[in-house]
Amino acid sequence: MSQKIQAVRGMNDVLPSDAPAWQRLHAVAAEVFAAYGYAEIRLPVVERSELFKRAVGEVTDVVEKEMYSFEDRGGERLSLRPELTAGVVRAGIEHGLFFNRQQRLWCSGPVFRYERPQAGRYRQFHQLDVEAFGIATPDLDVEIIALAEALFRRLGVGGFRLQLNSLGTPAVRAAYRAKLVDYLRRFESSLDEDSRRRLSTNPLRVLDSKVPGTRAILEGAPQLPDHLDAPSRAHFETVQRGLSDLGIAYALNPRLVRGLDYYTHTVFEWTSTALGAQDAVCAGGRYDGLVEQLGGPPTPGIGFAIGVERLVLLMRAQEVPLPEAGPQVYFCRFGERADPAAAQLAETLRRRLPGLRLLLNAGGGALKTQLRRADASGARYALILGDDEAAAGRVQVKSLRGEGEPRSVAVSELPAQLAELLELPLLS
């Protein structure tokens, strides 16, 4: 045997046993997004590296250390997308979606970051991403947050903590940054190595540090919310009032700064203690300067992304009910006459009973073998068609779960009988 080839580290297969949770999440998400007036946009997985450098920021971990970048055969510098926001903005500018228009969009798919894999942290993962453009007022911040809450509620997952902060305008942030650096410089030798490096590259990220010594120093650090200008403070207070009006609980976290550079004003994150160290399931915020920074018309924006793998983990842990996926009926067939007759009958049944999941035996096999496959498939009923039955225009219906004796049913009666047994609608 040749040597086995394994999946790339940090990149996971979603096996059939996991697929129903993914399908459920995407179905509910599509419904909830449509209910709020958001339209889907689909984007390429590969973009020019320059896009992420300019959007996410050159000195962020994501761009500096985690991007999968390469030169294509034409010598172009490209990257696998490490997030979706930059691509949505790029596409919006390219197709003129932002000219004098509001846009409410969502998209989803795989994203790639070269991080150290661990539980809940992967190198290929998936995001469900929502972005809205052209509205600077805080009512949109409230809508965006309410939309994520609605999705969690509709899915039946709970136990999250919503954390909220405001980064204010770029000017507010720059002034605060200077104050923070002044303060941290006084303790430079006691900071952990990572934080020392960030002090000169991206000092706000020091606030994220989980190292106990650094955290102790941060206790006395100046706090961002104390440095907001009046309009930023008013915006943030209106967001908070709007959330309270909708009964959405939140906690203010003055240290929430986010790892991507484009944020302004409101930033937020939903976390769950059930996820362990990688506790963020959904995160986002405003990015009022990003569209312009990428060459578009001045256009405010706000959005969030859900980590699909993490939300699926929570759906499983909280035993969210999932739609049944396996076949309900397994069709056994044997004999020269029965084989094509069964194939035709299977088509008729699938057409007349919408929602029916019927697996037709393929690859032959004795009745015993086929019934073993039927049992292993998880189906509730087996249909059995041999040449004798085919000649008589009848089919045997056998319960595989001890629901009564096998019975012989006329082919003409079969659709109605199955519809009754499986509680499915019947078309003529």
Contacting residues toward ligand HAM, per CB under 6 A: 83-85, 113, 115, 121-122, 125, 127, 129, 131, 259-260, 280-285, 303-305, 307, 309-310
Least separation, in Å, of the C-beta of 287 and ligand HAM? Answer: 6
Residue nearest to ligand HAM (CB): 307
Nearer to ligand HAM, 120 or 335 (CB): 120
- CB of 285 or CB of 296, closer to ligand HAM: 285
The token duo for 337 is 């006459």
Q: Are 285 and 224 in contact (CB under 8 A)?
A: no
Between CA 356 and CA 362 the distance in angstroms is 18
Residue 121 CB, nearest approach to ligand HAM (Å): 4
Q: How far is the CB of 148 from ligand HAM (least distance, A)?
A: 11
- Encoding tokens for residue 143? 């809508």
Token representation of residue 133: 């453009």
Least distance in Å: CB of 285 to ligand HAM?
A: 6
Cβ proximity to ligand HAM, 131 vs 389, nearer residue? 131
Nearest to 141 by CA among 299, 297, 307, 284: 284
Q: Could you give the CA distance from residue 357 to residue 376 in angstroms, rounded to a whole number? A: 15
Nearest distance in Å: CB 119, ligand HAM: 10
Of residues 122 and 187, the one with the C-beta less far from ligand HAM: 122
| Distance in angstroms (rounded) separating the CA atoms of residues 332 and 359 | 9
Measured CA to CA, the distance from residue 266 to residue 163 in angstroms comes to 11
CB 10, min distance to ligand HAM, A: 8
* CB closer to ligand HAM out of 1 and 277: 277
Q: CB of 308: closest distance to ligand HAM in angstroms?
A: 8
191 or 267: whose CB is closer to ligand HAM? 267
Question: Nearest approach, Cβ of 115 to ligand HAM (angstroms)?
Answer: 5
Our CB check for ligand HAM shows the closer of 284 and 300 to be 284
Closer CB to ligand HAM, 310 or 394, in the complex: 310
Q: Closer to ligand HAM by CB, 314 or 397: give it.
A: 314
Q: By C-beta, is 169 or 370 nearer to ligand HAM?
A: 169
Of 121 and 357, which CB lies nearer to ligand HAM in the complex structure? 121
Kindly report the backbone phi and psi dihedral angles of residue 304, in degrees, each rounded to the nearest multiple of 5, phi listed first: -150, 165
**CB of 112 vs ligand HAM, minimal distance in Å:** 9
Token pair of 62, please?
């994501």
102-121 CB burial, b ≥16 within 10 A, e <16: ebbbbbbbebbbbbeeeebb
**Least distance from ligand HAM to the Cβ atom of residue 173, Å:** 16
CB of 145 to ligand HAM, least distance (A): 12
Please give the backbone phi and psi of residue 10, each rounded to the nearest 5 degrees, phi first: 80, 5
d(C-alpha 81, C-alpha 61), whole Å: 14
User: Is 329 in contact with 395 (CB distance < 8 Å)?
Assistant: no
